[in-house]
Amino acid sequence: MTTVAVDTPGGQYPIHIAPGRLDALAQSIPADATAVALVTNPTIAALYAERAEAALARTGKRVVRIELPDGEAHKDWQTLNLIFDGLLSHRYDRKGVLVALGGGVIGDMCGFAAASYMRGVRFVQVPTTLLAQVDSSVGGKTGINHPLGKNMVGAFHQPVAVEIDTDVLRTLPAREISAGLAEVIKYGLILDAPFFEWCEANAAALRALDPQALTYAIQRSCELKAHVVSQDERESGLRAILNLGHTFGHAIEAGLGYGEWLHGEAVGCGMVQAAELSARVTGFPAADVARVRALVDAIGCPVVSPDLGADRALDLMRVDKKAEGGEIRFVLLPEIGRAVTQRAPEAAVREVLALTSCLPVEQAINLDPQQASPA
């Protein structure tokens, strides 16, 4: 088993990475817990809920399952309230512990419920998608979407543990693997040039779920994210670089309707757009723009954005947590392995949108990643 330590003002906790961690969930439940609530969705429940419940039952605590509708489209107030309904109807107290079994949507909503219920209870992240394992389960960001912006309502609330079972990735569709790999290569782009080069060399192995390559990718991603959040838990400075590609990506998600593209697909495409914008603003070399596009394509993510119209895309990008005074701030790359957050001339943004946003919306809604690659 590999363990990565996260140390923030809001909490210190381990990330355990190994096959079979679902069977060891009892180890992550604090001894003074009065009950456990397993929060999941029907898709994940059919695969892993009974196994997780059996593991949690070994704590001797009462275990109740709360199932939420599946998908990004349900990451809202109405669905969040189902968690509160379950906790209140089963009379969970402040020592009850929530366990998020699922992808980023489940993790974000369960974490937000934990941050809010009785003004804060403990929770454990058990991410079942690659994207959640390398990104959303680590660092304490929780929240829900608003029709006008992604993750605009939420809280920072650190888990007491993150349990990553690498075996569960075998049941993921290839599209989900590709989406998760977008977040993996992001870490190399913003923090670790040798890791980006390693991803270039191992893209095929990662897509094929080679155990050794996948374990290293997860471990290194978690190490890099832990390094950032330990310095800037609440995104007042450095942590903003973790949003490379997200300003463009969130506009794609909101413009198409949440759930039409997977979050990682939108981020992967957004990183190509951010690289193009970096070439115009920070002097990012054209050869490196091509490397970013080639790797995003190699992992199976789209590299051409839906054509939302420049005005619509800009409006959506202004509803962004990095925006200041209505001005968009982008994460840009001076070079591979280093990122900065700054404004960009609107003319340059429009030029990038004109260059990269050429996928008809109707085609984007029925995405075949091969169709969202250069002809």
Please check if 105 is assigned to a binding site: yes
Burial 311-346, CB ≥16 within 10 A → b, else e: eebbebbebbbbeeeeebbbbbbeebbebbbeebee
Please check if 229 is assigned to a binding site: no
Q: What is the DSSP string of 271-338?
A: HHHHHHHHHHHT---HHHHHHHHHHHHHTT---S-B---HHHHHHHHHSSTT-BTTB-EEEEEEETTE
What is the C-alpha separation between 334 and 44, in angstroms, rounded? 40
Radius of gyration, alpha carbons of the chain: 20
| CA torsion angle 148 369 353 73 (round to 10) | 0
What is the C-alpha separation between 291 and 203, in angstroms, rounded? 13
Please check if 183 is assigned to a binding site: yes
Whether the CB-CB separation of 125 and 162 falls below 8 Å is answered with yes
Please check if 71 is assigned to a binding site: yes
Please check if 103 is assigned to a binding site: no
Question: 123 pairs with which residues across the strands?
Answer: 98
Please check if 270 is assigned to a binding site: no
Whether the CB-CB separation of 277 and 356 falls below 8 Å is answered with no
Please check if 50 is assigned to a binding site: no
**Active-site annotation, residues:** 119, 141, 183, 225, 235, 239, 243, 246, 250, 263
Please check if 106 is assigned to a binding site: yes
Local structure of 221: helix, strand or coil: helix
Please check if 320 is assigned to a binding site: no
Please check if 141 is assigned to a binding site: yes
Please check if 150 is assigned to a binding site: yes
Q: Residues comprising the binding site for Zn(2+)? A: 183, 246, 263
Known binding-site positions for NAD(+): 70-75, 104-108, 128-129, 141, 150
Residues making up the binding site: 70-75, 104-108, 128-129, 141, 150, 183, 246, 263
